[in-house]
Amino acid sequence: MASASSIPRLFDVHALTLHAERAIRLNQPADFLLQRAAHDLSDRLAVVLRDFEHRLDLGTPLPLAASMLAQKPGQLTRLVQPGWPTGNGPWTTVESPLETLPLTPESFDLAVSLLALQSVDDLPGTLIQLRRALKPDGLFIACLLGGETLTELRQSFLEAEIAVEGGASPRVAPFADLRDCGSLLQRAGFALPVTDVDRVIVRYSDPFALMRDLRAMGAANPLAERRRGFLRRETLMKAAQIYAQRFSDDDGRVRATFDLVWMSGWVPHESQQKPLKPGSAKMSLAEALKPK
Protein backbone atom coordinates (compact mmCIF):
# COMPACT_ATOMS: atom_id res chain seq x y z
CA MET A 1 0.00 0.00 0.00
CA ALA A 2 1.40 3.39 -0.98
CA SER A 3 2.33 5.90 1.69
CA ALA A 4 -0.11 8.74 2.30
CA SER A 5 2.39 11.32 0.99
CA SER A 6 2.73 9.54 -2.39
CA ILE A 7 -1.00 9.30 -3.11
CA PRO A 8 -2.36 11.99 -5.46
CA ARG A 9 -4.99 14.03 -3.65
CA LEU A 10 -8.04 14.06 -5.92
CA PHE A 11 -10.81 14.83 -3.45
CA ASP A 12 -11.35 17.54 -0.87
CA VAL A 13 -12.45 15.56 2.20
CA HIS A 14 -13.87 18.66 3.89
CA ALA A 15 -15.97 19.40 0.79
CA LEU A 16 -17.27 15.82 0.72
CA THR A 17 -18.44 16.19 4.33
CA LEU A 18 -20.10 19.55 3.67
CA HIS A 19 -21.89 18.19 0.60
CA ALA A 20 -23.20 15.21 2.58
CA GLU A 21 -24.46 17.47 5.36
CA ARG A 22 -26.20 19.73 2.82
CA ALA A 23 -27.89 16.76 1.17
CA ILE A 24 -29.27 15.66 4.53
CA ARG A 25 -30.47 19.17 5.37
CA LEU A 26 -32.61 19.09 2.22
CA ASN A 27 -34.69 16.41 4.03
CA GLN A 28 -35.31 14.63 0.72
CA PRO A 29 -31.92 13.35 -0.48
CA ALA A 30 -32.02 12.04 -4.05
CA ASP A 31 -31.61 8.31 -3.43
CA PHE A 32 -33.06 6.76 -6.60
CA LEU A 33 -29.67 5.42 -7.73
CA LEU A 34 -28.97 4.09 -4.25
CA GLN A 35 -32.39 2.42 -4.17
CA ARG A 36 -31.64 0.73 -7.49
CA ALA A 37 -28.22 -0.43 -6.28
CA ALA A 38 -29.68 -1.80 -3.02
CA HIS A 39 -32.32 -3.78 -4.92
CA ASP A 40 -29.65 -5.17 -7.26
CA LEU A 41 -27.44 -6.07 -4.29
CA SER A 42 -30.28 -8.06 -2.76
CA ASP A 43 -30.66 -10.01 -6.00
CA ARG A 44 -26.94 -10.70 -6.23
CA LEU A 45 -26.69 -11.96 -2.65
CA ALA A 46 -29.78 -14.15 -3.11
CA VAL A 47 -27.86 -16.45 -5.49
CA VAL A 48 -24.95 -16.92 -3.05
CA LEU A 49 -25.79 -20.13 -1.23
CA ARG A 50 -24.24 -19.47 2.13
CA ASP A 51 -24.91 -17.54 5.32
CA PHE A 52 -22.78 -14.60 6.44
CA GLU A 53 -22.60 -14.26 10.20
CA HIS A 54 -20.44 -11.11 10.38
CA ARG A 55 -21.35 -8.46 7.82
CA LEU A 56 -20.03 -5.00 6.99
CA ASP A 57 -21.71 -2.11 5.16
CA LEU A 58 -18.76 -0.03 4.00
CA GLY A 59 -19.59 3.64 3.55
CA THR A 60 -23.01 3.39 1.86
CA PRO A 61 -24.35 6.97 2.25
CA LEU A 62 -27.81 6.02 3.58
CA PRO A 63 -28.76 2.88 5.57
CA LEU A 64 -30.42 1.14 2.62
CA ALA A 65 -27.87 -1.65 2.33
CA ALA A 66 -27.68 -2.02 6.12
CA SER A 67 -31.46 -2.33 6.41
CA MET A 68 -31.44 -5.09 3.81
CA LEU A 69 -28.52 -6.95 5.44
CA ALA A 70 -30.17 -6.66 8.86
CA GLN A 71 -33.11 -8.81 7.73
CA LYS A 72 -31.05 -11.94 8.37
CA PRO A 73 -29.62 -13.02 11.73
CA GLY A 74 -26.04 -12.21 12.53
CA GLN A 75 -23.83 -9.28 13.45
CA LEU A 76 -23.83 -6.17 11.29
CA THR A 77 -21.43 -3.21 11.34
CA ARG A 78 -22.11 -0.03 9.40
CA LEU A 79 -19.09 2.15 8.66
CA VAL A 80 -20.37 5.69 8.02
CA GLN A 81 -18.40 8.44 6.33
CA PRO A 82 -18.34 11.87 8.01
CA GLY A 83 -21.42 13.93 7.19
CA TRP A 84 -23.80 11.05 6.54
CA PRO A 85 -26.40 9.88 9.09
CA THR A 86 -25.78 6.74 11.14
CA GLY A 87 -29.41 5.61 10.86
CA ASN A 88 -31.37 3.66 13.41
CA GLY A 89 -31.18 -0.09 13.22
CA PRO A 90 -29.76 -3.29 14.70
CA TRP A 91 -26.17 -2.56 13.79
CA THR A 92 -22.95 -1.27 15.28
CA THR A 93 -21.91 2.09 13.84
CA VAL A 94 -18.34 3.17 13.16
CA GLU A 95 -17.61 6.64 11.71
CA SER A 96 -14.51 6.80 9.55
CA PRO A 97 -13.25 7.97 6.15
CA LEU A 98 -12.73 5.15 3.69
CA GLU A 99 -8.99 5.73 3.32
CA THR A 100 -8.21 4.45 6.83
CA LEU A 101 -10.45 1.60 7.93
CA PRO A 102 -10.49 0.92 11.70
CA LEU A 103 -11.31 -2.76 11.18
CA THR A 104 -9.93 -5.83 12.90
CA PRO A 105 -8.22 -8.30 10.55
CA GLU A 106 -10.30 -11.33 9.49
CA SER A 107 -13.41 -10.12 11.31
CA PHE A 108 -16.08 -10.19 8.55
CA ASP A 109 -17.54 -12.83 6.25
CA LEU A 110 -19.20 -10.30 3.93
CA ALA A 111 -18.53 -6.66 3.04
CA VAL A 112 -20.73 -4.56 0.76
CA SER A 113 -20.46 -0.95 -0.37
CA LEU A 114 -22.90 1.08 -2.46
CA LEU A 115 -22.03 4.34 -4.26
CA ALA A 116 -19.20 5.30 -1.93
CA LEU A 117 -15.87 4.10 -3.29
CA GLN A 118 -15.84 6.49 -6.28
CA SER A 119 -14.75 9.28 -3.89
CA VAL A 120 -11.68 7.54 -2.46
CA ASP A 121 -8.21 8.89 -3.31
CA ASP A 122 -6.42 5.57 -2.74
CA LEU A 123 -8.88 2.94 -3.90
CA PRO A 124 -6.20 0.20 -4.17
CA GLY A 125 -5.18 0.89 -0.56
CA THR A 126 -8.78 0.80 0.67
CA LEU A 127 -9.37 -2.52 -1.11
CA ILE A 128 -6.24 -3.99 0.45
CA GLN A 129 -7.39 -2.91 3.93
CA LEU A 130 -10.82 -4.37 3.26
CA ARG A 131 -9.41 -7.69 2.07
CA ARG A 132 -7.44 -7.94 5.31
CA ALA A 133 -10.62 -7.28 7.32
CA LEU A 134 -12.38 -10.21 5.62
CA LYS A 135 -11.98 -13.79 6.68
CA PRO A 136 -10.64 -16.40 4.26
CA ASP A 137 -13.41 -17.18 1.75
CA GLY A 138 -15.08 -13.87 2.66
CA LEU A 139 -17.04 -12.06 -0.05
CA PHE A 140 -16.80 -8.43 -1.13
CA ILE A 141 -19.45 -6.79 -3.36
CA ALA A 142 -19.43 -3.11 -4.27
CA CYS A 143 -21.22 -0.74 -6.60
CA LEU A 144 -19.63 2.57 -7.51
CA LEU A 145 -20.21 5.28 -10.07
CA GLY A 146 -17.84 4.77 -12.98
CA GLY A 147 -17.39 4.59 -16.71
CA GLU A 148 -19.33 7.23 -18.64
CA THR A 149 -21.18 8.66 -15.64
CA LEU A 150 -22.22 12.29 -16.27
CA THR A 151 -20.41 12.37 -19.60
CA GLU A 152 -22.97 14.86 -20.91
CA LEU A 153 -22.36 17.28 -18.04
CA ARG A 154 -18.61 16.94 -18.34
CA GLN A 155 -18.61 17.71 -22.06
CA SER A 156 -20.98 20.65 -21.69
CA PHE A 157 -19.00 22.38 -18.95
CA LEU A 158 -15.70 21.76 -20.73
CA GLU A 159 -16.93 23.43 -23.92
CA ALA A 160 -18.64 26.25 -22.02
CA GLU A 161 -15.60 27.19 -19.94
CA ILE A 162 -13.32 27.15 -22.97
CA ALA A 163 -15.76 29.34 -24.89
CA VAL A 164 -16.47 31.81 -22.08
CA GLU A 165 -13.33 31.82 -19.94
CA GLY A 166 -10.65 30.58 -22.32
CA GLY A 167 -9.83 27.55 -20.18
CA ALA A 168 -11.41 24.76 -18.16
CA SER A 169 -11.21 23.57 -14.57
CA PRO A 170 -12.11 20.06 -13.34
CA ARG A 171 -15.80 19.94 -12.37
CA VAL A 172 -16.67 16.23 -12.43
CA ALA A 173 -14.60 13.59 -10.67
CA PRO A 174 -12.75 10.99 -12.75
CA PHE A 175 -14.51 7.64 -12.71
CA ALA A 176 -13.06 4.14 -12.64
CA ASP A 177 -13.20 2.08 -15.81
CA LEU A 178 -14.83 -1.36 -15.73
CA ARG A 179 -11.60 -3.10 -16.72
CA ASP A 180 -9.64 -1.19 -14.10
CA CYS A 181 -11.94 -2.45 -11.35
CA GLY A 182 -11.11 -6.08 -12.11
CA SER A 183 -7.40 -5.31 -12.06
CA LEU A 184 -7.75 -3.45 -8.76
CA LEU A 185 -9.44 -6.46 -7.16
CA GLN A 186 -6.62 -8.75 -8.25
CA ARG A 187 -4.00 -6.24 -7.11
CA ALA A 188 -5.65 -6.13 -3.67
CA GLY A 189 -5.44 -9.93 -3.40
CA PHE A 190 -9.03 -10.93 -4.17
CA ALA A 191 -9.72 -14.17 -6.01
CA LEU A 192 -12.39 -14.88 -8.62
CA PRO A 193 -12.96 -11.19 -9.49
CA VAL A 194 -16.11 -10.29 -11.42
CA THR A 195 -17.11 -6.89 -12.80
CA ASP A 196 -20.09 -5.64 -14.78
CA VAL A 197 -21.92 -2.38 -15.41
CA ASP A 198 -25.54 -1.27 -15.18
CA ARG A 199 -26.05 1.82 -17.36
CA VAL A 200 -28.89 4.05 -16.20
CA ILE A 201 -30.17 6.89 -18.39
CA VAL A 202 -32.14 9.46 -16.40
CA ARG A 203 -34.16 12.14 -18.20
CA TYR A 204 -34.63 15.61 -16.78
CA SER A 205 -36.74 18.62 -17.73
CA ASP A 206 -33.53 20.66 -18.07
CA PRO A 207 -29.86 20.57 -16.98
CA PHE A 208 -30.63 22.57 -13.82
CA ALA A 209 -32.89 19.77 -12.58
CA LEU A 210 -29.94 17.38 -12.91
CA MET A 211 -27.71 19.77 -10.95
CA ARG A 212 -30.30 19.98 -8.17
CA ASP A 213 -30.38 16.19 -7.98
CA LEU A 214 -26.59 16.03 -7.77
CA ARG A 215 -26.63 18.42 -4.81
CA ALA A 216 -29.35 16.31 -3.19
CA MET A 217 -27.11 13.25 -3.62
CA GLY A 218 -24.19 15.02 -1.93
CA ALA A 219 -22.46 14.78 -5.30
CA ALA A 220 -21.48 18.39 -5.96
CA ASN A 221 -17.92 19.04 -7.14
CA PRO A 222 -15.53 17.66 -4.45
CA LEU A 223 -12.29 17.85 -6.44
CA ALA A 224 -9.28 19.23 -4.63
CA GLU A 225 -8.11 21.04 -7.79
CA ARG A 226 -11.47 22.63 -8.54
CA ARG A 227 -11.56 26.34 -9.21
CA ARG A 228 -12.41 28.24 -6.05
CA GLY A 229 -15.04 30.96 -6.06
CA PHE A 230 -18.50 31.14 -7.57
CA LEU A 231 -19.27 29.75 -10.99
CA ARG A 232 -19.80 32.59 -13.45
CA ARG A 233 -23.43 32.92 -14.52
CA GLU A 234 -22.39 33.29 -18.15
CA THR A 235 -20.49 30.00 -18.00
CA LEU A 236 -23.37 28.21 -16.31
CA MET A 237 -25.90 29.41 -18.88
CA LYS A 238 -23.59 28.50 -21.75
CA ALA A 239 -23.13 24.98 -20.33
CA ALA A 240 -26.89 24.57 -19.97
CA GLN A 241 -27.36 25.74 -23.56
CA ILE A 242 -24.79 23.28 -24.90
CA TYR A 243 -26.30 20.49 -22.81
CA ALA A 244 -29.82 21.15 -24.13
CA GLN A 245 -28.64 21.37 -27.72
CA ARG A 246 -26.52 18.21 -27.74
CA PHE A 247 -28.21 15.86 -25.28
CA SER A 248 -31.96 16.43 -25.52
CA ASP A 249 -34.67 14.12 -26.86
CA ASP A 250 -37.49 15.06 -29.20
CA ASP A 251 -39.70 16.06 -26.27
CA GLY A 252 -37.11 18.54 -25.01
CA ARG A 253 -36.01 16.55 -21.96
CA VAL A 254 -32.27 16.03 -21.48
CA ARG A 255 -30.42 12.78 -20.78
CA ALA A 256 -27.93 12.05 -18.01
CA THR A 257 -25.85 8.87 -17.96
CA PHE A 258 -25.02 7.04 -14.73
CA ASP A 259 -22.87 3.90 -14.96
CA LEU A 260 -23.25 1.70 -11.89
CA VAL A 261 -20.09 -0.40 -11.94
CA TRP A 262 -20.28 -3.62 -9.93
CA MET A 263 -17.23 -5.45 -8.62
CA SER A 264 -16.95 -8.55 -6.49
CA GLY A 265 -14.24 -10.85 -5.27
CA TRP A 266 -13.47 -13.49 -2.66
CA VAL A 267 -10.66 -13.68 -0.16
CA PRO A 268 -8.55 -16.68 -1.24
CA HIS A 269 -9.31 -20.01 0.42
CA GLU A 270 -8.20 -23.57 -0.31
CA SER A 271 -11.79 -24.64 -1.02
CA GLN A 272 -12.15 -22.31 -4.01
CA GLN A 273 -11.88 -23.46 -7.59
CA LYS A 274 -8.46 -22.98 -9.15
CA PRO A 275 -7.39 -22.92 -12.80
CA LEU A 276 -5.76 -26.07 -14.13
CA LYS A 277 -2.01 -26.13 -14.38
CA PRO A 278 -0.55 -25.56 -17.88
CA GLY A 279 -0.12 -28.87 -19.69
CA SER A 280 -2.60 -30.77 -17.53
CA ALA A 281 -5.37 -30.91 -20.16
CA LYS A 282 -6.30 -34.42 -21.33
CA MET A 283 -7.35 -33.28 -24.82
CA SER A 284 -5.70 -30.85 -27.20
CA LEU A 285 -7.59 -27.86 -28.60
CA ALA A 286 -7.20 -29.26 -32.11
CA GLU A 287 -8.86 -32.53 -31.09
CA ALA A 288 -11.68 -30.70 -29.32
CA LEU A 289 -12.44 -28.69 -32.46
CA LYS A 290 -12.45 -31.62 -34.86
CA PRO A 291 -15.84 -32.12 -36.54
CA LYS A 292 -17.66 -35.24 -35.40
pLDDT in tens, 110-125: 999 999 999 888 889 9
Give the confidence band of 285 by pLDDT, cuts at 50, 70, 90: low
pLDDT at position 41, please? 96
Identify the structural domains of the chain with CATH numbers, from first to last: 8-269 (3.40.50.150)
The H or E element containing residue 209 is helix 207-216
Helix (H, G, I), strand (E, B) or coil at 269: coil
- Residue 221 or 156, more confident: 156
Query: Which residues have a Cβ under 8 Å from the Cβ of 136 and sit 6 or more positions away?
Result: 106, 267, 268, 269
| The overall pTM is greater than 0.75 | yes
- Exposed/middle/buried for residue 105 (C-beta within 10 Å: 0-12, 13-18, 19+): exposed
Q: How far is CA 114 from CA 17, 78, 101, 194, 252, in A?
A: 17, 12, 16, 16, 32
Helix (H, G, I), strand (E, B) or coil at 66: helix
Instruction: Write out pLDDT tens, residues 111-165.
Output: 999 999 998 888 899 999 999 999 999 999 999 999 899 999 989 988 998 888 8
Residue (of 167, 200, 168, 194) closest to 181 by Cα position: 194
- Exposed/middle/buried for residue 137 (C-beta within 10 Å: 0-12, 13-18, 19+): middle
Residue 223 CA to residue 9 CA, distance in Å, equals 9
Query: Over pLDDT 70: what percentage of the chain?
Result: 81
Give the confidence band of 176 by pLDDT, cuts at 50, 70, 90: confident
Would the pLDDT of 30 be above 70? yes
Residue 164 CA to residue 232 CA, distance in Å, equals 9
Q: How far is CA 93 from CA 33, 69, 73, 215, in A?
A: 23, 14, 17, 25
pLDDT at position 195, please? 94
Helix (H, G, I), strand (E, B) or coil at 57: strand
pLDDT at position 120, please? 87
User: Span 76-95, mean pLDDT?
Assistant: 91
Q: Are 61 and 81 in contact (CB under 8 A)?
A: yes
- The whole-chain average pLDDT of the chain stands at 85
pLDDT at position 165, please? 82
